[in-house]
Amino acid sequence: MRHLITIAFILLTINNLSAQNRTLVAYYSYTGNVRSIVDELKGLTNADIVEIQPAKEGERYEADNYAIGSALISAIRENPDKAESYPEIKPLSVDFGLYDNIIVATPLWWSNMAAPMQTFLFANGAEMAGKNIALIVSSASSGISSVVADAKRLISNGKFVGEPLWINNKNRSNMPTLLANWTKTLDFKSNMTEKLYITIGSVTLTATLAENTATQALVAALRESPITYSATDYGSFEKVGPLGRSLPTANEQTTTEPGDIVLYNGSQIVIFYGSNSWDYTRLGKIDNATQQELKAALGEGDCTITLSLSAGNNSENQNNNETPTGIRQSDRAATPDGPMYDLQGRRISAPVRGQIYIQGGEKKFKFSN
């Protein structure tokens, strides 16, 4: 479109609820560019996602020389303080008390934030007071100053952190790297922890990565493609195997615990289901799994392990009942409309308000009853 430029506008929210940092991403996408940014951002934030949708489906904002879209923006410009100036969106009930930072992604129209996203922020901006606000802009080539101004007007008491990230047609192909580097500049960087997915047969474990040069190099490699390697049982306390590449080392004397993941000799990855003391570079730790559960997941003898940054990268990665948080088990029949499970892997009939649940291999959030 000539004047309809896609802008991704991201406001980041993370809350330490039940000892777990959380992120909310609220986005609106018309052409799909914003959706692709949010899809990439999922792997960086482990976020809850909510999509803003117009009440009237199928509108072509670019039709008749952009008559509909430009009229919506003009109405907001003329009376920005009146609710009737903003187009209707589908109802959403968000408990902002669960979040300290919020992610919103939206297209920009005619130098301003897209009208549906403005509606969402106009209705909810007051509840975002005091929260950390971070911004990503995706456009063809136009400047983004008016979109920044819209955000600060609609969330007048928000705490804007970091510099806006501008993704345009010239650098869009480098978007994954731009996003990864940008998130590390934010004040809530410690909450933007990478998750590692470890698949052994039909079981997938999640792990939280450490922050060091070794994990940065590993993440960079995994962004290119998942890594599959053969692991051997050693000493009745670990599975060890070659990564097929060398990573930077920062070895230190370490006494490991079940679930620890370390780098040995720069190119060997070790997953512990027992304990050992040696010079290792720490890579991370498997989430919320007991020693017995780790032994069952890793199995006896040699095994094949696949590492990735997204559950979606593993075709076997769905959910079944009676699996702990951090472990996902294969269910080939699972679909986005299939069975639902809580974060302890127990099957549920329906989520309650404010609950994070798993369906079709994805984490979801119940906003209202």
33-45 and 175-183 helices, crossing angle to 10° = 40
Q: Both ends of the chain: CA-CA distance in Å? A: 39
CB atoms inside a 10 Å sphere around CB 310: 16
Instruction: For the chain, give the percent of residues with pLDDT over 70.
Output: 77
pLDDT on residue 154:
95
Taking phi over 0 as left and psi of -120 to 50 as alpha, with beta for the rest, 229 belongs to: beta
Mean pLDDT of 337-341: 62
Q: How confident is the model at residue 330 (pLDDT cuts 50, 70, 90)?
A: very low
Q: Superfamily assignment of 4-191 in CATH?
A: Flavodoxin domain (3.40.50.360)
The CB-side HSE value for 25 (13 A sphere, CA atoms) comes to 28
- pTM value? 0.51
For 199-211, the pLDDT digits (tens) are 998 888 988 888 7
Question: CA-CA distances (angstroms) from residue 96 to 39, 130, 284?
Answer: 22, 11, 30
Domain borders along the chain are 4-191, 195-313, 330-365
For 93-122, the pLDDT digits (tens) are 888 888 878 888 888 888 999 999 999 999
The CATH class that applies to domain 195-313 reads: mainly beta
